[in-house]
């Protein structure tokens, strides 16, 4: 068994490497955080002047429903708190930082708000971009109204 003096000496010898390890870890986290902020800033400045109207105007000639486009843009800006203008070709996970559950919530919200039903087998195609989500919602059938 080690005596307390030897234990203290061993801990003192390990303090410097452990401190350096923590410092490098903290520096790495700071670099990643600053990099993320700079990336968002570059996206916002590169997309200056773009808004919901330009998003919708880009999607209308491709045959997308106006209401679906507007509700998707509003949901991403307000509920998912995307702080920069959104483009149809934005990748959901890499550009917008959405997790799989966020994408599922987005699809479910758009289906509900736009009176659409989930079509069985529609989730077989991967949803990579915002345009993929809009395509899936648009392809979903309208909800049938029950008239009494």
* Residue 87 · residue 55 · CB < 8 Å: yes
pLDDT at 9: 82
Domain 52-139 adopts which CATH fold?
A: 1.10.1200
Instruction: State pLDDT tens for residues 90-142.
Output: 999 988 889 999 999 999 999 999 988 887 765 567 889 999 999 999 988 88
For residue 148, pLDDT over 90 is answered with no
pTM check: above 0.75:
no
pLDDT at 2: 56
Instruction: State pLDDT tens for residues 27-54.
Output: 999 999 999 888 888 887 888 888 899 9
* Residue 40 · residue 83 · CB < 8 Å: yes
For residue 147, pLDDT over 60 is answered with no
């Amino acid at each position: 068994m080690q005596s307390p003096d030897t234990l203290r000496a061993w801990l003192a010898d390990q303090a410097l490497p452990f401190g350096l390890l923590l410092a490098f870890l903290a520096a790495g986290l700071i670099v990643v955080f600053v990099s993320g902020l700079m990336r968002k800033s570059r996206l916002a400045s590169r997309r200056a002047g773009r808004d919901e109207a330009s998003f919708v105007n880009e999607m209308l000639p491709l045959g997308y429903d106006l209401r679906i486009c507007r509700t998707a843009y509003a949901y991403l800006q307000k509920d998912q708190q995307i702080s920069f203008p959104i483009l149809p070709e934005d990748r959901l996970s890499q550009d917008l930082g959405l997790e799989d559950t966020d994408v599922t919530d987005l699809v479910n919200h758009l289906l509900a708000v736009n009176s659409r039903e989930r079509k069985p087998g529609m989730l077989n195609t991967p949803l990579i971009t915002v345009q993929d989500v809009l395509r899936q919602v648009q392809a979903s059938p309208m909800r049938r109204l029950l008239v009494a």
